[in-house]
């Protein structure tokens, strides 16, 4: 089949690479426009664009997906199928264009964790399992008929970055399997409604800065999950000495705290921990506003309380 691939970040690159390695005919890539980034505000290409150019694949970068010129370019490519991984929401005029429709890879076991941040929310909620799902796009976001799903375990200390990297690989393989099933006529799409009966569905909305502020009056396990679920990005944070302190990695100490929630305790040399309502969060890797990310012992060498 002639396939148009749509994606932007590194997560999507693995899927594009897997399709090419499987011999699939990717006739074009659609990705985000180049954006200024860094101190020099130089135009930065998306990870998908950079990879596509190395493979000689034509790249389309529409500002607006309903632009008539862009739609004309899509039609001219005569794609049989579109594959979407970590891209923006598509209008119906785009996702309904190919005869075989548009397949999407989502980083959760649908119908659970529909939304923009499924990896983060699964860990924040303390889940022990996540996964990836391929489904056919339809009107409501992340609600289309499921093609294939693959579970992936979450370890007790896994961060969102750890889970992201595993799902990226498993998802790439699952996408190839799903595309091949469509091509050979063995795909059997399953309505999500049949999997959601009598089940409480958890959502995965976009995460904003206010969602990243640590509430120290919560249990240690809840705070630990928040830190894991937001690491390495967008990162859980607190305020210390009037400055933002990001926490990337932390341990748990379940005990009766000798300090009130949020009170900092340190020997100034080897440990730094914050009290919760049933113990302490032991900070391991952190970044103080205006400084670089570092190990807590290196941080304590240069910080004066």
Bridge-based pairing state of the strands 25-30 and 2-7: parallel
pLDDT tens-digit readout, 70-102? 999 999 999 999 999 999 999 999 999 999 999
pLDDT tens-digit readout, 155-198? 999 999 999 999 999 999 999 999 999 999 999 999 999 998 88
Q: What is the CATH class of 2-196?
A: alpha beta
Instruction: Take residue 76 and report the two structure tokens written for it.
Output: 């001219």
Per cent of the chain over pLDDT 90 is 93
Longest dimension (CA), the chain: 69
Q: Is 161 within 8 Å of 232 (Cβ atoms)? A: yes
Domain positions in the chain: 2-196, 210-302
Which residues does 210 contact at the CB level (< 8 Å), separation at least 6? none
pLDDT score, position 2: 98
pLDDT score, position 41: 80
Instruction: Take residue 140 and report the two structure tokens written for it.
Output: 């409501």
- Does this chain's domain 2-196 share its CATH topology with 210-302? no
Which residues does 303 contact at the CB level (< 8 Å), separation at least 6? 288
Residue reference for tokens 């101190």: 39
CATH number (3.40.630.10, 3.10.25.10, 1.10.10.10, 3.40.50.150) of 210-302 reads 3.10.25.10
């Amino acid at each position: 089949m002639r396939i148009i691939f749509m994606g932007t970040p590194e997560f999507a690159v693995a899927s594009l690479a897997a399709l090419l390695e499987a011999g699939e005919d990717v006739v074009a890539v659609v990705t985000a426009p180049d954006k200024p980034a860094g101190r020099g505000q130089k135009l930065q290409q998306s990870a998908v664009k950079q990879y596509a150019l190395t493979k000689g694949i034509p790249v389309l970068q529409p500002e607006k997906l309903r632009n008539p010129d862009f739609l004309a370019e899509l039609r001219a490519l005569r794609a049989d199928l579109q594959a979407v991984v970590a891209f923006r929401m598509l209008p119906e005029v785009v996702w309904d264009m190919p005869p075989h429709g548009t397949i999407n890879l989502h980083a959760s076991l649908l119908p659970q964790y529909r939304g923009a941040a499924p990896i983060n929310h699964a860990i924040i909620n303390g889940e022990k399992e996540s996964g990836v799902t391929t489904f056919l796009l339809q009107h409501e976001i992340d609600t289309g008929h499921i093609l294939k799903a693959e579970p992936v375990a979450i370890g007790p200390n896994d961060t969102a970055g750890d889970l992201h990297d595993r799902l990226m690989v498993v998802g790439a393989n699952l996408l190839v399997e799903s595309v091949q099933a469509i091509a050979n006529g063995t795909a059997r799409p399953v309505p999500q409604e049949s999997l959601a009966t009598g089940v409480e569905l958890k959502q995965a909305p976009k995460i904003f800065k206010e969602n990243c502020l640590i509430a120290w009056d919560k249990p240690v396990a809840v705070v630990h999950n928040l830190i894991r679920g937001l690491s390495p990005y967008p990162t859980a944070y607190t305020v210390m000495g009037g400055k933002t302190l990001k926490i990337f990695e932390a341990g748990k100490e379940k005990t009766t705290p000798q300090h009130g929630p949020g009170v900092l305790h340190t020997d100034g040399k080897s440990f730094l921990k914050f009290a919760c309502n049933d113990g302490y969060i032991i900070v391991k890797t952190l970044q103080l506003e205006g400084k670089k990310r570092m190990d807590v012992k290196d941080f304590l060498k240069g910080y004066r309380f």
